[in-house]
Amino acid sequence: MDISKHLNSEELNTKDKQPLYLQIALLIADKIQKQILPSGTKLPPERELADLFAVSRTTAINAYRKLEQQGLVWTKVGSGTYVAQARDAESLFEVPWPQLFTAYPQNPLASILRDIVSTPAPGTISLAPGMPDPALYPMETFTELFNHNIGRTPPSDFGYIPIEGYNPLRRAIAAMLSEKGISASTENIITLSGSQQGLYLLSKVLLEPGDYVVMEASTFIGAIQVFQSAGARILSLPCSEKLSLELLEDYLIRYRPKLLYMIPTYQNPTGRVMPAHERQNLIKLAKHHRLVIVEDDPYSDLYYGEQPPQALKALDSYGGVVYLGTFSKILFPGLRTGYLAGPPVLINRLALEKQLIDLHSNNIAQWLMAMFLNEGKLAGHLTTVRREYKKRRDTMAKALRRLCANDIEFNVPEGGFYFWCKLKQSGTSQQLLQEAVKNRISFVPGEAFHTVPTLDNEFRLCFTTHNEAVLLESVQRLAKTFAQLTKKNRANDAPPSSVWPII
């Protein structure tokens, strides 16, 4: 069915105050309600819709999102947007949940990315999530700790405990940080249900809508989402090569940002390590401006050569660095145990906020973690995972060099989880992903790590989740994808467009 004749750009009123995306959504909704567009009808792809109405792609995407929220259309990943089933009389009395929800600022691509990345087709090798290898989780040690100690622990340890966390774990974390040069005692620590919760709590206690936050470009998507949903305005600090302190100072003077969020060691996604002198200069500048720095540090124990420089928190001479740590990457994410180190005044305020969410984090995980640390089990485990991940990194780097050298460039990360790759030819990583999923390989395209929607030619591969054989297979599939794309572009005999469809 050619439905373009039913969608007429002349019906839009550009002088109307109503945004264009809403006008388009209303127009389509009207045709659906009048059954001009019956259920099951495939609607034009976003790009075509944009052309039909002479609007931007973002406007078209937003129009479809609006219709989706109203339950009038649905999107099938990789296939398109369809008119939903007509509602029967009963369903008219259903609670219109989506309309009750509070506003949720979200990059329109985020849900699409989530579909592609988190629900891969069977047989797909996903290099997308930042996951340690489940085969390396120290389950035996945790089982022994549990069995040996469950009868010796007072049951009251499993009742309600202080919001700030299980004290033996807080003490053990403070001792662990002290060994890394970070001076901390129990009252400086709050345990968390993952460091993601720390980001959320910080946003709740520090940010008002309209506040400025400085972030590296690119950076961790979970942090972007938290700060954006707090209504913060994001200032980007490009630092793939070197941190620009001049630009940061300009931001500090011009915008008085509430905080700077950084991952100084084995950054996610770029893998970059901030050199020691840069750390010192940053602290000097931050101290001068009394800038709060949120240092997110999930990866620094995962070094595959030399140890990285000391954490920013270890250099903190003005009490402005808030340190976030987690056991998700070095042990396993299901522990949901992270922690934050900061001044007691901040810990107290965070505890009040945490009380509203979960009263305190899970005692059993905290109890197990306290024993794991106190019995000195972490060092041995880290030696094992570092050895294994180093092998995987080297195998993958070699395979990428051998099979994809004409297509991508990348730096070999000195630690952490990720290869950050850049396409050599024109084109976006979105298009690459679209082709790659057909070859049952997936990864995260670079635009997911940006604060504003951008068409990006970078992408992230996680090398820790799978063993070397699977990693080799994944690079072969990637190389096959590049070969197919090259052939396709040649066949088209036209230069590849720089604006490619979003799947």
Ligand X SMILES: Cc1ncc(COP(=O)(O)O)c(C=O)c1O
CB of residue 338 vs ligand X: minimum separation in angstroms?
Answer: 4
Nearer to ligand X (CB atom), residue 53 or residue 332: 332
CB of residue 462 vs ligand X: minimum separation in angstroms?
Answer: 10
Q: Indicate the DSSP class of residue 375.
A: T
CB of residue 196 vs ligand X: minimum separation in angstroms?
Answer: 3
CA distance 318 to 287: 6
According to CB under 6 A, which one of 264, 298, 320, 427 is a site residue for ligand X? 298
Nearer to ligand X (CB atom), residue 65 or residue 204: 204
According to CB under 6 A, which one of 71, 222, 496, 501 is a site residue for ligand X? 222
According to CB under 6 A, which one of 220, 303, 449, 459 is a site residue for ligand X? 220
Neighbours of 44 (CB within 10 A): 19
CB of residue 264 vs ligand X: minimum separation in angstroms?
Answer: 11
CB of residue 279 vs ligand X: minimum separation in angstroms?
Answer: 17
Contact between residue 298 and residue 249 where contact means Cβ atoms under 8 Å apart = no
Candidates 192, 222, 223, 175; CA nearest to 337 is 192
Contact between residue 273 and residue 266 where contact means Cβ atoms under 8 Å apart = yes
Q: Which of residues 88-147 bind ligand X (CB under 6 A)?
A: 130
Kindly state whether residue 416 participates in binding ligand X, applying the rule CB under 6 A: no
Q: Which residue is nearest to ligand X (CB)?
A: 194
CB of residue 225 vs ligand X: minimum separation in angstroms?
Answer: 11
Q: Which of residues 189-208 bind ligand X (CB under 6 A)?
A: 194-196
CB of residue 332 vs ligand X: minimum separation in angstroms?
Answer: 9
Q: Which of residues 314-343 bind ligand X (CB under 6 A)?
A: 326, 328, 333, 338
Kindly state whether residue 413 participates in binding ligand X, applying the rule CB under 6 A: no
CB of residue 261 vs ligand X: minimum separation in angstroms?
Answer: 9
Kindly state whether residue 81 participates in binding ligand X, applying the rule CB under 6 A: no
CA distance 479 to 98: 42
Q: Which of residues 255-294 bind ligand X (CB under 6 A)?
A: 263, 268
Helix (H) or strand (E) holding 322: strand 321-326
Kindly state whether residue 464 participates in binding ligand X, applying the rule CB under 6 A: no
Contact between residue 320 and residue 292 where contact means Cβ atoms under 8 Å apart = yes
CB of residue 358 vs ligand X: minimum separation in angstroms?
Answer: 14
Nearer to ligand X (CB atom), residue 62 or residue 337: 337
- Burial, 46: exposed, middle or buried (Cβ in 10 Å; 0-12, 13-18, 19+)? buried
Nearer to ligand X (CB atom), residue 60 or residue 116: 116
Q: Note every long-range contact of 221-229, with CB atoms under 8 Å and residues 24 or more positions apart, other chains counting.
A: 221/110, 221/448, 221/449, 222/196, 223/199, 223/261, 223/296, 224/449, 224/450, 224/451, 225/106, 225/110, 226/196, 226/199, 226/200, 227/199, 227/203, 227/261, 228/105, 228/451, 229/104, 229/105, 229/203
Nearer to ligand X (CB atom), residue 182 or residue 202: 202
Cβ partners under 8 Å of residue 442, min gap 6: 116, 117, 120, 124, 125, 126, 127, 128, 433, 436
One-letter amino acid identity for 144?
Answer: E
Q: Indicate the DSSP class of residue 12.
A: -
Kindly state whether residue 211 participates in binding ligand X, applying the rule CB under 6 A: no
According to CB under 6 A, which one of 46, 216, 295, 296 is a site residue for ligand X? 296
**Binding stretches for ligand X (CB under 6 A):** 130, 194-196, 220, 222, 263, 268, 296, 298, 326, 328, 333, 338
